[in-house]
Amino acid sequence: MNKFLSVGIIIMSLMLFACGPSSNQTQQKGPFLGNGIHNGWADHHSIVIWTRLTARPEGNAIGIKFNDVSKKELKVLNEEANAAHIHKAQIPEGYQLKDMEGACPGAMGEVKLRYCEAGTQNWSTLDWAAVDSLKNYTKQWQLTNLKADTKYIVKIEARKNARSDISDSMLGQFVTPPMSDKAKEIDFCVVTCHDYWRKDTLNGHKIYDSMMDLAPDFYVHTGDVEYYDKPQPWAMTEELMRFKWDRLFALPLQREFWSKTTTYFIKDDHDALMNDAYPGKKYGTVSFERGLDIFDKEQFPSKVLPYQTVRWGKDLQIWLVEGRNFRSKNTLADGSDKSIWGKAQKQWFFNTVKESDATFKVLITPTPILGPDRGVGKDDNHANEAFQHEGDELRTFINEQTNLFICNGDRHWQYVTHFENTNLWEFSCGAGADEHAGGWNEKDRRPQHRFLRVKGGFLRVSIRYEDNKAVIWFRHCDVNGKIVHEEKFFESIM
């Protein structure tokens, strides 16, 4: 009750402060904060904050549609890798990217960040700094020396230059995790796979509205936040890739949720480069390495090592793993050297899990480890034969642990997989919209399926206390937040 009350008070105070990107503009010239505020990599004492300056307060809702491109033409454009041809084929003559539907072009200018503990006026200020035009007009800050288990308010202001007035401002918020000695109820949500076109409302994906109502302590996006290799437009140049981010980040439901929720973003294949991307791949003019950089260093909050474990109080520790940066080519023969995680990340995972005394441990991975996955044509994840060696190594290790659960993205259907008489449990959160779901026949229910549903939604995980003992709930939700399946575990599952 208290939690909901405090969430309500914060929402009301945010409204009083006129936090919408278009609602506090002293002039209509911009620059604006049309892509909102994102955060990432929160731990007990630090977080990374991200924003971008835009020429307009909102995405272009009534813009022009891209030209359709035939499969044959697409193949030629991809092989030819000529940026001018890729753009000419898709952008109708006489128009520019800024004219297209959803466009939210960037703008030069300066941003200032202030933050304080919620309920205080004890602001710290990071002074005016220019956004980086070489990084799509974005700016990032790392906030340090934060207090654990604390709610913070962030205020970002925008202006053109030192001689201009403030042109826009916005409030955001995040919480830091409680330390390992604090028993605390925690709620988090896990999502995967959505894009601009397969959204179920004009304002964005319903799941963001549903999750906003739950006010989770944090949320994890396990990747495929957008799809470069889908039409309208096929993003075979860096410019088109950025266009897709600008458009998605301007969706009101996403923008509000990301500005107000502690977030961990993981990437997968479609938002790194293309389907099943691995080193050596190229999509149009963009190399695999550039694809990683655009995600890791520009469009999302950055961290030197793109994986992390975070203790969220006495009873929960999460592991967020990276599945693209360190992977072998999918086409290599399987064996002890073939890896998705890479040696260093794998050893880090084994070591940190062994060191942890958290009651419940949750591994959050962009791709499945248990599956089952489709057999034919799939060679991209640990549930596929192409990575069976490392998959077996991980499954053996996880089975030796107590209360270590897997939550995965990537697959466009929801499932709970459990092999009887083992410690192996995997929860697939499913695609972000019903129209994005698919890839598995709902009638193909295997012995390890405790639950199977080929529809969109998200996964909700909660730490609660019963008779002074911690329990963990894994609840699959539909896009409206309705619970469609739940599993509950006590301190020991064997």
Name the residues that contact Fe ion, by CB under 5 A: 193, 224
Per the CB < 8 A criterion, the answer to whether 328 and 278 are in contact is yes
Tell me how far, at minimum, the Cβ of 193 lies from Fe ion, in Å.
Answer: 4
Query: CA–CA separation, 46 vs 397, rounded Å?
Result: 31
Q: Which lies closer to Fe ion via its Cβ, residue 52 or residue 270?
A: 270
Tell me how far, at minimum, the Cβ of 207 lies from Fe ion, in Å.
Answer: 14
Tell me how far, at minimum, the Cβ of 332 lies from Fe ion, in Å.
Answer: 23
Beta-strand runs (E) in 41-197: 47-52, 110-117, 124-130, 138-143, 151-159, 166-175, 186-191
Tell me how far, at minimum, the Cβ of 340 lies from Fe ion, in Å.
Answer: 16
Q: Which lies closer to Fe ion via its Cβ, residue 224 or residue 246?
A: 224
The candidate with the shortest Cα–Cα distance to 341, out of 275, 405, 409, 394, is 394
DSSP helix/strand/coil, 256? helix
Q: Which lies closer to Fe ion via its Cβ, residue 107 or residue 193?
A: 193
Q: Which lies closer to Fe ion via its Cβ, residue 90 or residue 381?
A: 381
DSSP helix/strand/coil, 16? helix
Residues 246, 251, 256, CA angle at the centre, nearest 5°?
A: 110
Total Cβ atoms within 10 A of residue 419: 14
The candidate with the shortest Cα–Cα distance to 264, out of 234, 231, 308, 219, is 219
Structure tokens at 341: 């995680």
Q: Which lies closer to Fe ion via its Cβ, residue 267 or residue 418?
A: 267
Query: CA–CA separation, 185 vs 203, rounded Å?
Result: 31
User: For residue 27, how far is the Cα from the chain centroid?
Assistant: 33
Q: Which lies closer to Fe ion via its Cβ, residue 279 or residue 438?
A: 438
The answer to whether the Cα torsion of 276, 281, 50, 44 is positive or negative is: positive
Q: Which lies closer to Fe ion via its Cβ, residue 359 or residue 414?
A: 414
Tell me how far, at minimum, the Cβ of 59 lies from Fe ion, in Å.
Answer: 22
Tell me how far, at minimum, the Cβ of 38 lies from Fe ion, in Å.
Answer: 20
Structure tokens at 293: 């950089």
Q: Which lies closer to Fe ion via its Cβ, residue 33 or residue 383?
A: 383
Tell me how far, at minimum, the Cβ of 285 lies from Fe ion, in Å.
Answer: 23
Find the helix or strand (DSSP H, E) in which 486 lies.
Answer: strand 483-489
Q: Which lies closer to Fe ion via its Cβ, residue 159 or residue 247?
A: 247
The candidate with the shortest Cα–Cα distance to 102, out of 249, 239, 205, is 249
Tell me how far, at minimum, the Cβ of 304 lies from Fe ion, in Å.
Answer: 27
Tell me how far, at minimum, the Cβ of 422 lies from Fe ion, in Å.
Answer: 27
Query: CA–CA separation, 164 vs 157, rounded Å?
Result: 12
Query: CA–CA separation, 168 vs 448, rounded Å?
Result: 52
Per the CB < 8 A criterion, the answer to whether 220 and 188 are in contact is yes
DSSP helix/strand/coil, 412? coil
Query: CA–CA separation, 452 vs 426, rounded Å?
Result: 12
